[in-house]
Amino acid sequence: MAKKSTSLVSFVCFAGVVLSGATWRSGAQSPPPAYPVAAPLDQYLIPARASEIELARSAAPASISDGAEVLVLAKDGYVTAVEGGNGFVCLVERSWAKDTGDAEFWNPKVRAPHCLNAPAAKTYLPIVLMKTRLVLAAESKTEIARALKSAQDKKELPALEPNAMCYMMSKQQYLSDNDVHWHPHMMWYLPGDAEKSWGANLDGVPALAGYVAEDRMTIFMETVGHWSDGTPAMH
């Protein structure tokens, strides 16, 4: 397998925001926790609803996001700010979409716009919404991890549907302190450890992948050459 750069490993270790704490086989070690506790809730909120709507929609080209449902984060969880009609759901994930073992799980600067297609909105989004409810209930990372495991074991979370994917093409994304914008990209969510089935991460293969043990899924990524507004991305 091709050796991954430090910046790439940092990027993919964003679950759900990107790869929610994916366990890379490169053996890279996580840095010491930089955010050991949750910040005050206000630091995770975006005061102007219109600004959050605009940021969420920037995840995908307007041909998709203009017709999508848009969720925004309120003090009691994500709520629908704009009704959609094309099956897509756009939202700005916060740092707790990462794996609970990630050093930036509580980083209040993280803003990760996603635009999920209908299968992902139905079967991936519930994981993010569950984590959000637990965070807003002031649960610890240990308690969140335990609750997720229990929900997975009892099949209280839906199984990932085929073709579940999302767009992450926002020029305004803040994915982590080390890789603020990284690259515009698309992601696919598959159940279990499915990296080998796509031949991901091998020399000459454009697909990147990481297994997210806590969410029991593999996330595949493909970078694209432009941001959602059409401007070229520097690779």
Query: Is 234 contained in some domain?
Result: no
Longest dimension (CA), the chain: 45
Instruction: Give pLDDT tens digits for 123-147.
Output: 999 999 999 999 999 999 999 999 9
Predicted pLDDT at 27:
45
Name which of 21-35, 46-60, 169-183 the model is least confident about.
21-35
With pLDDT > 90 as the criterion, what percentage of the chain qualifies? 77
- The strand ranges marked E within the chain are 69-74, 77-82, 89-93, 112-116, 165-168, 185-191, 208-212, 217-223
Residue 231 lies in a domain: no
Predicted pLDDT at 212: 93
Domain coverage including residue 102: 6-223
Answer whether residue 156 is part of any domain.
yes
Task: Give the residue-averaged pLDDT of 26-48.
Answer: 81
Count of the separate structural domains present in the chain: 1
Q: Is residue 235 part of a domain?
A: no
Nearest to 62 by CA among 115, 110, 16, 111: 115
> Is 229 a member of any domain?
no
State how far the Cα of 200 lies from the Cα of 216, in Å rounded to an integer: 17
Residue 1 belongs to a domain: no
Its pTM stands at 0.87
Residues 225-231 have a mean pLDDT of 96
pLDDT tens-digit readout, 157-210: 999 999 999 999 999 999 999 887 889 999 999 999 988 888 889 998 888 999
**pLDDT (0 to 100) of residue 181:** 80
